[in-house]
Every structure is written in structure tokens, then in C-alpha cells.
Structure 1
């Protein structure tokens, strides 16, 4: 290892720690030791410090403890003679720099409260560019993509490219590979983020181009995201630095791209990233750190041409990415899914105030022709800017292994697959779809028929094992769309009734879902007809179809076997599978109970229910609600406690839809035990809650369920329950 790189990194770490100590001392004198320090809406405090040191920084006093650790980590300066080229001191220096920078950013949050924008989207027009630390809602929403593989990893870019066009090319190549790009730091006052905005590229979490900060200290937001993923999804405990760092090396495929001359402070941050197994690839001729050591391959690689930067980066990280090819004139990839087509960029839209309907239907092999795409009505040549049109998307699929049960599985993919086209926005599904085409997409030659081409190409790519032919008919004439919509609605109704009438008692086969085990090794989800997967993405039919499509995949059939407890929902076959799949960590659990050995939970859950003993019932909260709850913990805190595949009596993760399924906590009294949930969730589930209330003999149950507009502490919730006559008040004790 070069003495030059060691000198620069260690010198940079001294500079960072010393500078932050000075800022800290001034802030301590001005605001006092009790001044609160926090990143917004997170249960993980300052996550690098919390995850690696186990110190929950909550105020200036506890921040001082972290800075003392940073100072102690600083190694001796590099000597001119007898220099020992060991990696250890370099790693310590990098870690010290990151601890200090995290404190620096926390101080910025209260001294400059408007510097960062809360949420997922930027507003360049108003100068609101920098997003700062991702809150836990974003972490869990986006973290799922790292779990299911739709996001293979992330590139942390510091500095700026030589010009906006090169920045755009690099960013879009990462998008095509479905990677996230986290951006921080500047090069001579210019940032990679601002270059993308100059080139007309949308930035924000929705496009996977995330502008954290214009300063190099913003690199802590990328590493903090990775560390929280380890705690939230992998069950790594705060303070267990070895497991956290190894988890990130093995499971979170990230790397750094340094654009511009690497100064001492950048070198310190690069050294810090090596602790995580994240290598740095630079466009300048910097001293390199090649194997062996911590990273899978090289640690620091320099002098890489911009045209080779993306490919070299994924090679050095040992990351496998696939660029999806479809026969359309636009870039295509999952990273474009969150792109917005706004009013100023809009050329034409389908649906919205017009009708747009989608349907996938099975056909016989001789009834359709593969790759036959027909547009009946107006094509883009007949459309002028600003037009609003009806649209019907009719996909006929044939295959010797295809079954009618697969129709809704493929139909749900239409939303994602169309959205993956750059400059095309898709919202909704079934008969409430809405598609917008941006002017740049139309100028590149995108037409209505290309919607069919996307579905043909991607259905073959994703579901080729079960289908042989895909034919797509696209209707744009209002009369044709109306007739098509009537047909589609009849099919939707028939499908829904088929699933709704299924029961756990009548099915001998349940299905596993171990998709999240890449992040939560002991978590094993078992999906039954009356208990959907806790992430909300998989029901019994989905798992059945998934197994047929991929027999060696994460959804495996389980013979439920002997029923050990019909009330709580326990079967011998399920227990045997869970014990084996969790490697002995979990021996058994109940499907229908929150009180007695509930199902395991991982960080992907849509909702978490918690026991409220004083109310003789339960509450639940979904990930989009960021306020306080009667159990004293926000969703983020609950998820931090529950994530990682634990079975915790009194708490259980579940999907939104599961709340209105007949077996929801049936072993503890069922839906009549629901005493509190956020108002937004009540409204989202209104129709189902009204139906379930009728079924259990409490037709006005929805109005008796308390929410945050009424009370957020357990005592006040109980007062409300008594006032409205909630059934839980008169039920037998939920525990005992």
C-alpha cells in the first residue's frame, strides 16, 4: 500500500475530526449539553455511530462521547522512515472521520433546519435540491428493493464529472443497470447533482438518483442507509460492528466513484468506506490500494476513463448487473420507474379523466400469434400535443404451462414494466390506469405500439418458462375501450370472488416466502389463503403461480399436515418447514395470534400490530404513518424492534389486506380486537372494514376504532372505546 494514500487519508481524518471538534465546542457553548441532536424520523439515532458503537446520540452531551471515540481512533501520523504499510491504521482513520462527520451533519440539522428537504423528491426550481438523511419510511420502502433484488446495489458518487453530458451518461447507465446513485461532495464548487439537473435529468429517490449533500460529509447518509438496512432487515444489533460491516460487505453491494482530484478529506472518507467492503474507483491518477485486505477485490482504483467507469465499478465490487433490452427507442430499466412526466414535459396522456383499462387473458395456442401487436384507433402520428385519449391494453397469453390463475400475476406487472421506459409514466391498474408520455420520449420515436412491445418482450423475459406466445391489442377509440372495459370488469369480479371464497381449512398446501432471507436470515413467511404475505406483495395465488414459474424459487409448497391448534392456527407441516428454513432459529409459530408465538416479522412488513393490554385489544400502524401511536412507539421504532425475523409475543407484522381477512388474529378475538389505527389506513380499508364489521355483527365497527385525530395515548383510547361501546371493552381478557 502506498505511503502517499496512507498519509493523505490519515491527515484528512485529523483535519475532519479537529474541525468538527471546533464546531461542536462552539455549538455546545451556545446551546448547552441538552440540545437535541437527531436525523429526521428515525429510530436509529445517528445510524453509523449507533450501529457500530451502540451509542444512541440524542443530544450534544452524547455526541461528545462519539467524538471522543473518533479522537481515540486516530492513528499516528505517517512517518518518513520506517513506515508500516498496514491497512488497519488507515481504516481507523476513515472510521474516525465518518463518526465526526455524522455529528457535524446532526449539528447542521438544528443550526440550518432548512438546508435539507424532507421527503423523497427535490424541487430544483425553488432551490430545494439536497435531501439529507433518508428517514425510516424511505429506508423501509426503498430497502425492500435491495431485499428482492430489484436494486442490486448503489454507487456513491462524490465530486462532479467534467461536464453535464458525461454526468448524464454515467447516471443513466447506472439506472439502466437498476442501481441507486447516492451523491455528495463537490468539485471546485460544482456537484454531480447540479450537472444532472442542468442536463434535464430528474433527481430524487423516485429515480434512484439521490442528492444527499453538496459536501463530502454527506457521504455519511449513504453509509448510514446501509447500516440501517443491516439493523432493519438483517436483525443486526446496535453496537455489533463486526456483524454490521460484514453484513454490508456480503449483502449490500455498494462502491464509491470519486470524480475530480482526491484531497485529504476525500481520502479519509474513501478509507472509511473500505471498512464496509466498499471500494473507491476514481477518474484521477490516485495512489491505489489493490488486494489483499477488506474489499472483495481492489480497494482503491484510479485513473479510470469515464467511458469505462460504470463497468469497472461493478467489476471491482464483484457485482452482477443485467441491462434489460427491449425493442423500443428509449432507455429501459427499473430505475426509471419513479420518473415523473410533469405538465411542462407532457405530450399525451391516456386515462386520468379518460378511461384506461388493462387485462391479461389466457388464450389457446392456435388463437394468437406471438409478437403480434395491433393498434386499433389513433397512433401517435394522429395525436397532437396535449391530447387526452382512452386506452385499452389487452394482452393475450398462451403457453402449454400457462394457467388462468397466472392472469392476474402478469396483469399486475404491467404497471412496473411500462414504468421502466424512460419518459413514460404509469399509475394505477385494472380499469383505473393512467399513462403519460413525455415529449422527449415521443421525439425519440415512442409510439402506442411500443407499449405492446414492452409487454411482449418483458413477459417473455420474466415468464418465459410458462408462456410461449404473447399478443397485444391496444384500443384508443372510445367505443372500443368502453366495450373492452365492460369485458375486463366482468373478469376482475370473477377472479376476486374466486380468491375471496378460499379458506385455510379447505387448502392442504400453503406456500413459503423466503425472499427476505437475504436480509433477515431467520425470517420465514408462510402464506395461506387467509393470511397474505406481510409485505403485501404476495397472496396464496401469487405464491402458487410463483412456484409454477420458478420451482426452485423462494415460494415453495408446504403440506400443512396435522392441525395442532385450529384456534391459533398451527400446523405440524408448517412448523417442520419453518424450523428447517430458519436453520433452527424458529421452531414454531401461530398464524392467527399476536399474543402466543406469533409469526416472524421482517423489515418489509406493511403494518405492525401491537398489543394494548389496557384497552383489551390491539392497535396497528402502517409504514406511511409517521406520528405517535398508543403503544408509545412509532412505526420506525416498532420495525427496528421487530425486524430481522423475530417472533415477539405482543407484536406481529402483517399486510394491510390481512386486516380485513377473516382469520386476522382470529385466535385472539379477531377484528373486534382492533381498537386503534391511523385514520389514513382506516380510509384506505373502509370498504373492507365495513364488510368485516357486518360479518362479525358490529356494522359500525369502523367508527368505533380510534385513530390519531381522537387519541394517541392508551388511557385516552380506552376512554373513547368506553364512550362508543367498542366490543373489545366487553370481551374476555386478551391475555390470561
Structure 2
């Protein structure tokens, strides 16, 4: 069991040594916020090793500043890591994520870092985060662990792989800093307002596994300055880190940040969440497809009298999916009958458009377009897990 306070103290010395090795100029492309954490704290644009060491001293040896300067320098020196790792996320992508936070399709942010004891431990946590509408970032061996266990990662799955090392978790903080400046009215250099914004409005928490070294522990411990709770699944004790069992980590994080989630369990043999809405199902992953120019297909929603509608009733006319040849294109009609006391004819096209969302919420189902232009795919994996 690692002592967080002791290792954090030693880690700050390690960060200083890494800062001393920075030479030349460095910066991030695709942002107006320079090194966002440092810029938000100090209002200064930092681009050289001398400036990095100077601002580190001026901020009292802030580990967040050190980590940001180090990761930016490493990226400038060696380039971005290969796919699927994102590294620094550019402003244009971040703005889209910010809109999702505003419209409620994302309820909060989480970061997973370190080396999970078993792949299924991390997979279960990530699945719960997806189902609870949490945008999740990943740093360290947890990413390879998830990939090896068959979990798909990427922004389209709301599991964003930042980098191979836990230190890349600093991008989680630079995202919060930029959101504060973009949407929260925080001016660069207004540290007090930044801290208030992060503590009061950033619905974010961190889950750490074992495997963090001393400098990384120092950086993650500094997340607490922003009111971000650190939940330790295993390997750490001390400071304000909260020890939890893996199965309780997500619930504890939500409670600590006051994130209220009401999710209706849908009894289907695949995960179902807005987290999967941006995914795609490639041809080689597809079991069957409908429409898209490959076969006739349409969808239609109709208002009907109460006596003609049975709530929850589903009727399939035609072959079951196990009777369809894998890889084929099959005609499809989706007809939805709706009754409601205040239902109007004008509501039909509005509700009909929601078919697109609901189909895409399935981990193994994909939908584009509408009416008689629809294109739907079901994945091999979904069929293997029992989707009918």
C-alpha cells in the first residue's frame, strides 16, 4: 500500500528533475489557450523550458503546472502517440463535448488511471459509467486492459484514451480549465474564480488503480485543489484519497459530486446508452443490414385510438434474425403505433425522428437517415449475445 502523502512529497522532486530536462520551445496545436492549465492559473503563455521552470516556481511548485509543461514538451519532442490515443484534445472537439455537458446528454466527467487488477474490473466500471451518461477519460495501462478484454474505446463510445502513461491524465484537468474559460466566464489568471468554478460546477471525479509512480501520485493528489475527489480502488492510502471497492467506485463518485442519475433498465441482451450514439458498425462487423440502397426499408410512426394500441407490444412479421444469412441485406419496415390523450398528428414526425436515437443507443445497432431513406445495421456481436 503506497502512502499518498509521502509519495506525493517525493514526487514533486521528481517532477522538478523532469522540468530541468526541458529544452527549446513547445506548444499544443489546435488551441487558443496555450498550455490551458497554466494559462488558466497564471494568465501566461508558456512555450519554453525557462518559462516552464519560472512559472513552476511562481506557482509554489504546482504539480499540475509541472505535468502540463512536461507532457507538452514530450509531445513536441516525440509527436503524438499512435491511435487510439488522443493526447491533447483540440478546442473544436472540446467545444462539441462542452455542448453535450450543457444539453444534459453528458451528466459528468470521470478519469480512470493506472493498472486495474483484472480487465473485467475496468470493463465493468466503464460500462457503468457509460450507462450513467458519464464522459470517461482513460490514462495508463487501463486502456490496453480494456482493449484486450474487447471493450471499444474512443470519443464515439465516450471512453476517451488520453495516453499510455497515467501522467497523460493532466489532459483531464486541461479540459476542465478550458471549459471554465470557454463556457464559465473564467478569465485567464483568475485563479480564485477558476478554483470556485472547478469546485462548484465541474461534476468530475477520478478512479485510480495501482501502478502510479511518485510524480504521478503528486499530480493526481493535486487534483484535490480543484475539488475533484480521488477514489482509490487499490494500492493507495492517505491524503484525502477515498478507498473504495471496485463495484462501489462509480456510485461513490456520483454521490461525492452530487450527480443524480435515473436510468431505466432496458431488458435487452446488449448495453444501451447515449454513450453509443456516435459509434459506427463497419461492414466486417455487420451481421445484417436494412435499407441504405441495399434493400427497401422505411419507418413510420402513427397515432392510433387507445383500443388499437397495447403498450410494450412488439410484433415481428417475417424471418427471425437467426434465419437470416449473415452479411445479407433484408427489407425492413418499422411501424410504431402511438396513443396519448394529448397526442396530435403534428407530433408524429417529431416522435418518429426519435427512432434514430433509440436504435443508435444500442451498443450493437446502428441507424442513419429517416422515413424511406433509413439505413440500419445490427452487429455480429449483438446477435451473438442474443439480440433478436
Scaled to the shorter chain, the TM-score interval is over 0.9
Contact kept? 2:113, 2:138, Cα under 8 Å: yes
Distance (Å, rounded) in 1 between the aligned partners of 2:332 and 2:320: 11
Name the residue aligned to 1:338.
278
After TM superposition, list the pairs within 5 Å mapping 1:379-390 onto structure 2.
379-390=320-331
Contact kept? 2:88, 2:162, Cα under 8 Å: yes
Pick aligned residue for 1:104 from 65, 70, 81: 70
Contact kept? 2:301, 2:349, Cα under 8 Å: yes
Distance (Å, rounded) in 2 between the aligned partners of 1:241 and 1:360: 53
Name the residue aligned to 1:54.
43
| 1:233-257 Cα deviation digits (max 9, x unpaired) | 2222222222222222222211111
After TM superposition, list the pairs within 5 Å mapping 1:606-625 onto structure 2.
none
**Are 2:167 and 1:214 equivalent residues in the alignment?**
no
Pick aligned residue for 2:53 from 51, 64, 67: 67
Pick aligned residue for 1:162 from 117, 121, 128: 117
Pick aligned residue for 1:358 from 299, 316, 334: 299
Distance (Å, rounded) in 2 between the aligned partners of 1:38 and 1:392: 53
1:315–1:64 CA distance, 2 compared to 1 (3 A)? same
Name the residue aligned to 1:8.
7
Name the residue aligned to 1:241.
191
Query: Larger deviation: 242-251 or 129-138?
Result: 242-251
RMSD: 2.1
**Are 2:360 and 1:419 equivalent residues in the alignment?**
yes
Name the residue aligned to 2:85.
130
Distance (Å, rounded) in 1 between the aligned partners of 2:350 and 2:190: 40
Contact kept? 1:49, 1:66, Cα under 8 Å: no
Distance (Å, rounded) in 2 between the aligned partners of 1:401 and 1:206: 36
Contact kept? 1:261, 1:284, Cα under 8 Å: no
After TM superposition, list the pairs within 5 Å mapping 1:183-222 onto structure 2.
183-185=138-140, 191-222=141-172
Distance (Å, rounded) in 2 between the aligned partners of 1:38 and 1:199: 35
3-state SS of 1:260 partner:
coil
1:178 deviates by: 1.7
1:157 deviates by: 1.0
Contact kept? 2:285, 2:380, Cα under 8 Å: yes
3-state SS of 1:150 partner:
coil
Distance (Å, rounded) in 2 between the aligned partners of 1:100 and 1:366: 68
| 1:458-503 Cα deviation digits (max 9, x unpaired) | xxxxxxxxxxxxxxxxxxxxxxxxxxxxxxxxxxxxxxxxxxxxxx
After TM superposition, list the pairs within 5 Å mapping 1:694-705 onto structure 2.
none
1:156 deviates by: 0.7
Give the alignment's TM-score, normalised by structure 2: 0.93
Give the alignment's TM-score, normalised by structure 1: 0.50
1:327 deviates by: 2.6
Contact kept? 1:345, 1:438, Cα under 8 Å: yes
**Are 2:379 and 1:433 equivalent residues in the alignment?**
no
Unaligned runs of 5+ in 2: none
Q: Matched residue pairs, number?
A: 386
Name the residue aligned to 1:529.
none
**Are 2:268 and 1:328 equivalent residues in the alignment?**
yes
| 1:427-453 Cα deviation digits (max 9, x unpaired) | 223332221111121112212xxxxxx
Distance (Å, rounded) in 2 between the aligned partners of 1:350 and 1:248: 46
**Are 2:384 and 1:398 equivalent residues in the alignment?**
no
| 1:313-369 Cα deviation digits (max 9, x unpaired) | 222333222333113221211112223322332111112222332232322323322
Name the residue aligned to 1:176.
131
Query: Larger deviation: 132-141 or 358-367?
Result: 358-367
1:195 deviates by: 1.0
Pick aligned residue for 2:349 from 395, 399, 408: 408
| 1:362-411 Cα deviation digits (max 9, x unpaired) | 22323322222222223213212111112222222111122233223322
Unaligned runs of 5+ in 1: 29-34, 75-92, 118-127, 186-190, 290-298, 448-736
Contact kept? 1:324, 1:332, Cα under 8 Å: no
3-state SS of 1:376 partner:
coil
> Which entry has the higher C-alpha Rg, 1 or 2?
1
3-state SS of 1:15 partner:
helix
3-state SS of 1:249 partner:
helix
Distance (Å, rounded) in 2 between the aligned partners of 1:51 and 1:355: 54
Which one scores higher on RCO, CA 8 angstroms, separation ≥ 6? 2
Contact kept? 2:210, 2:236, Cα under 8 Å: no
3-state SS of 2:308 partner:
coil
Distance (Å, rounded) in 2 between the aligned partners of 1:244 and 1:442: 48
Name the residue aligned to 1:576.
none
